[in-house]
Amino acid sequence: MDDAATAKLDDFIRRKGMRRTPQREAIVQLAFAEDEHFTSEELFDRVRRKNINASRATVYRTIALLVEAGLLQEIDLGGDLKTYDPNFLDKPTHNHLVCVDCGKVIEFEDSHLELLNDCLTRRLGFRPKRQSIKIEACCEQLRTKGSCPSLIEARLSRKRLPVRKR
Partner DNA sequence: CTGATTGCAAATGCTTTGCACGCCA
Partner DNA sequence: TGGCGTGCAAAGCATTTGCAATCAG
Q: Is 68 in the site for a second copy (CB under 8 A)?
A: no
Tell which phi-psi region holds residue 78, choosing left (phi > 0), alpha (psi between -120 and 50) or beta.
left
Q: Is 58 in the site for DNA (CB under 7 A)?
A: yes
Pick between residue 134 and residue 155 the one whose CB is nearest to a second copy: 134
120 binds, among DNA, a second copy, none (CB under 5 to 8 A by kind): a second copy
Q: Is 160 in the site for DNA (CB under 7 A)?
A: no
x/- mask, DNA, residues 82-111, rule CB under 7 A, reads x-----------------------------
Q: Is 127 in the site for a second copy (CB under 8 A)?
A: yes
Spatial distance between the Cα atoms of 114 and 118, rounded to a whole number of angstroms: 6
Contact call for residues 150 and 139 (beta carbons, < 8 A):
yes
Q: Is 131 in the site for a second copy (CB under 8 A)?
A: yes
The secondary element (H helix, E strand) that includes residue 39 is strand 38-39
Asked whether the CA dihedral 114, 120, 121, 126 is positive or negative, the reply is positive
Which residue in 57, 88, 96, 59 sits closest to 71, CA to CA?
88
Q: Is 166 in the site for DNA (CB under 7 A)?
A: yes
87 binds, among DNA, a second copy, none (CB under 5 to 8 A by kind): none
